[in-house]
A and B are shown apart, each in its own frame.
Chain A
Amino acid sequence: MNPPFHLAKKEDLKHIGIGQVDDSAIKARTLKLMDEFRKFSRSFSAMLETCTRCGTCANACHSYLGTDDFNNIPAARAGYLRAIFTRYFTWYGRLFRRFSGAREFDDDTLCSLVSYFYQCNACRRCALYCPFGIDTAEIVLAGRNILTSLGLAPSFIVSIARNEILTGNNTGILKPAIIDSCSFLEEELRGETGLDIKIPVDKPDSEILYLPSSSELFTNVDTLMGAAKVFHHLGVDWTLSSVMLEAANYGLHFDLEILKKQNRRMRVAAAAVGARKVIQGECGHGWRVARMYSEGADGPVNFQLEHVLDFVAARLQRLSLSRLPIRATLHDSCNYGRGTGLLDSPRLLVRACVEEFVEMTPNRERNFCCGGGSGLLMDEMKDLRMQLGKMKAGQIKDLQPLDYVAAPCASCKAQLPLVLKHYGMGDTACGGVMDLLGRALVMDNERRIEGNATGNHVK
Chain B
Amino acid sequence: MEFLFGVMLPYTAFTVFVAGTVLRAAGWLKTPVPFQLTLFPVPGSIQGKIRSLALDFFFCASLFREDKALWLRVWLFHLSLGLIIAGHVAGIYYLREQFVLVGLAPGTSRLLSKLLGGTAGTAMVLSLGALIVGRIINPVVRKLSVPEDFFNLLLLSAIAASGIFLYLPVFHVDLPAVRSYMGGLVTFRPASLPQSPMFLVHFLLVNILLLYFPFSRLLHSVGYFVNRSVLLESPPTYPTKEGAAPRSAFASSGRHAGLHASGREPMDMGGNP
Q: Known contacts A36-B259, A52-B217, A131-B63; is A43 also within 8 Å of B230 by CB?
A: yes
Once bound together, how far apart are the Cα atoms of A257 and B37, in whole Å?
A: 18
B239-A304 in contact (CB<8A): yes
Once bound together, how far apart are the Cα atoms of A228 and B147, in whole Å?
A: 60
B60-A131 in contact (CB<8A): yes
Q: Known contacts A46-B28, A299-B251, A302-B240; is A51 also within 8 Å of B235 by CB?
A: no
A341-B235 in contact (CB<8A): yes
Residues of A within 8 A of B255 (CB): 36, 40, 145, 256-257
With an 8 A cutoff between CB atoms, is B261 at the interface?
yes
**A:58-81 near B, CB below 8 Å:** 58-60, 70, 73, 75-76, 79
The residue on A at minimum CB distance from B145 is A53
Q: Known contacts A29-B261, A55-B140, A295-B251; is A128 also within 8 Å of B36 by CB?
A: no
**A:109-158 near B, CB below 8 Å:** 124, 127-135, 138, 145, 149
Once bound together, how far apart are the Cα atoms of A294 and B35, in whole Å?
A: 8
A165-B264 in contact (CB<8A): no
**A:302-349 near B, CB below 8 Å:** 302-305, 337-341, 343
A135-B37 in contact (CB<8A): yes
State which of B81-89, B103-111, B116-124, B241-249 sits at the interface with chain A: B241-249
With an 8 A cutoff between CB atoms, is A187 at the interface?
no
- Among A55, A101, A258, the one with the most B-chain Cβ atoms within 10 Å of its Cβ is A55
Residues of B within 8 A of A49 (CB): 24, 219, 223
Closest Cβ of chain A to B70, distance in Å, is 7
Residues of B within 8 A of A46 (CB): 28, 223, 226-227, 230
Once bound together, how far apart are the Cα atoms of A348 and B98, in whole Å?
A: 59
Q: Known contacts A50-B223, A295-B251; is A55 also within 8 Å of B31 by CB?
A: no
Can you list 27 A-B pairs with a CB-CB distance of less than 8 A? A17-B264, A19-B264, A19-B265, A42-B32, A43-B227, A50-B217, A50-B220, A52-B220, A53-B149, A54-B70, A54-B74, A58-B140, A73-B140, A99-B148, A128-B39, A131-B56, A132-B220, A132-B224, A135-B231, A256-B255, A257-B267, A291-B235, A294-B238, A295-B244, A296-B251, A299-B252, A301-B240
Which of A's residues lie within 8 Å of B, judged by CB?
14, 16-19, 21, 29, 32-33, 35-36, 38-43, 45-47, 49-56, 58-60, 70, 73, 75-76, 79, 90-92, 96, 98-101, 124, 127-135, 138, 145, 149, 165-168, 174-175, 242-243, 256-258, 260-261, 265, 291-305, 337-341, 343, 365
Which of B's residues lie within 8 Å of A, judged by CB?
24, 27-29, 31-42, 56, 60, 62-63, 66-67, 70, 74, 138, 140-141, 143-149, 151, 215-217, 219-220, 223-224, 226-228, 230-231, 235-236, 238-240, 244, 246-248, 250-252, 254-256, 259-273
